[in-house]
């Protein structure tokens, strides 16, 4: 090798060593990465966890789910008190257990039983026909509601016709038939009950009662509509439909706001 080429070779070697050193400094040594472990008790979470939805119907929610005279229109107004026929006709006795239970339920305006306390109740009067409508919202286990609906469905067969004696000794013939209802709620059952007899003056009278009960999600609603005059079936239907829709909406809003 000639003397003139030594510096060039040295410079090339120095540059190569310098580049190798820089590469070694800038690239970390590769090593096996430890496995990523996750706590077995923790489930993947969303960026913002929302609280669990409430399953309890509060008194305020039940009150907000009630219907009003505005939903039924004229001639309905807020009730002026319990109709006289509740005591005059419905307070009656019969020897048939299921039929007696029905009479007691109609008298109390509660087919779901004494233990099923209404969360909210409203009464409305038909000032034209002197009929009275009562609407209730109840918090009940769905299984209990379905049991009551099944019992109501058997009554037209068990209590199609029977006699009942009022506290004044008057005898009324009772007819029980299934009532058609709108397809509302998750399950429903309706009855149309006619009680025919005589007034204290000896005049023939017929009390007509429409009773409708429905399961709406985790809750229940009940409508009773009756009187000695014309009883508007469309009012019963409207109360059931509007009530079910309102209860569903109140429930939805309650869960969103929790």
What domains, with CATH codes, occur in the chain? 75-233 (3.40.1000)
Q: List, for residues 169-219, the tens digit of each pLDDT value.
A: 999 999 999 999 999 999 999 999 999 999 888 899 999 999 999 999 999
Mean pLDDT across the stretch 23-49? Answer: 38
Instruction: Verify cis geometry, omega within 30 degrees of 0, for the bond prior to 75.
Output: yes
What is the pLDDT, as a whole number, of residue 256? Answer: 53
DSSP assigned state of 184: -
What is the pLDDT, as a whole number, of residue 22? Answer: 40
Percent of all residues in the chain with a pLDDT value above 70, rounded to a whole number: 76
How far is residue 94's CA from residue 100's CA, in Å, rounded to a whole number?
A: 6
* Mean pLDDT of all residues belonging to the chain: 82
Answer whether 209's CB lies under 8 Å from 193's CB: yes
How far is residue 212's CA from residue 193's CA, in Å, rounded to a whole number?
A: 11
What is the pLDDT, as a whole number, of residue 255? Answer: 64
Q: Per mean pLDDT, which of 40-54, 63-77, 82-96 is the most reliable?
A: 63-77
Across 71-82, b (16+ Cβ under 10 Å) vs e yields bbeeebeeeeee
Select the more confidently predicted residue: 2 or 175.
175
Strands (E), 54-105: 76-78, 92-93
Q: List, for residues 125-169, the tens digit of each pLDDT value.
A: 999 999 999 999 999 999 999 999 999 999 999 999 999 999 999
pLDDT band per the 50, 70, 90 thresholds, residue 83: confident
pLDDT band per the 50, 70, 90 thresholds, residue 13: very low
What is the pLDDT, as a whole number, of residue 139? Answer: 92
């Amino acid at each position: 090798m000639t003397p003139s080429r030594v510096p060039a070779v040295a410079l090339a070697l120095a540059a190569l060593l310098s580049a190798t050193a820089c590469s070694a400094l800038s690239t970390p040594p590769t090593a096996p990465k430890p496995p990523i472990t996750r706590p077995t008790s923790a489930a993947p979470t969303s960026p913002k966890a929302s609280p669990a939805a409430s399953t309890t119907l509060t008194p305020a929610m039940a009150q907000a789910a009630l219907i009003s005279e505005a939903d039924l229109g004229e001639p309905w107004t807020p009730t002026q008190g319990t109709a006289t026929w509740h005591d005059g006709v419905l307070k009656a006795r019969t020897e048939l257990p299921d039929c007696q239970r029905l009479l007691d339920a109609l008298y109390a305006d509660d087919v779901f039983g004494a233990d099923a306390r209404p969360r909210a109740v409203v009464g409305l009067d038909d000032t034209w026909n002197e009929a009275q409508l009562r609407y209730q919202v109840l918090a009940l286990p769905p299984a209990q509601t379905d049991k009551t609906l099944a019992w109501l469905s058997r009554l037209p067969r068990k209590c199609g016709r029977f006699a009942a004696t009022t506290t004044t000794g008057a005898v009324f013939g009772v007819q029980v038939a299934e009532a058609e209802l709108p397809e509302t709620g998750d399950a429903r059952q309706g009855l149309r009950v006619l009680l025919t007899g005589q007034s204290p003056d000896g005049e023939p009278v017929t009390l007509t009662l429409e009773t409708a009960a429905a399961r709406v999600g985790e809750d229940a609603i009940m409508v009773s509509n009756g009187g000695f005059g014309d009883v508007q079936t469309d009012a019963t239907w409207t109360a059931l439909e509007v009530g079910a829709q309102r209860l569903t909406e109140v429930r939805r809003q309650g869960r969103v706001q929790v």
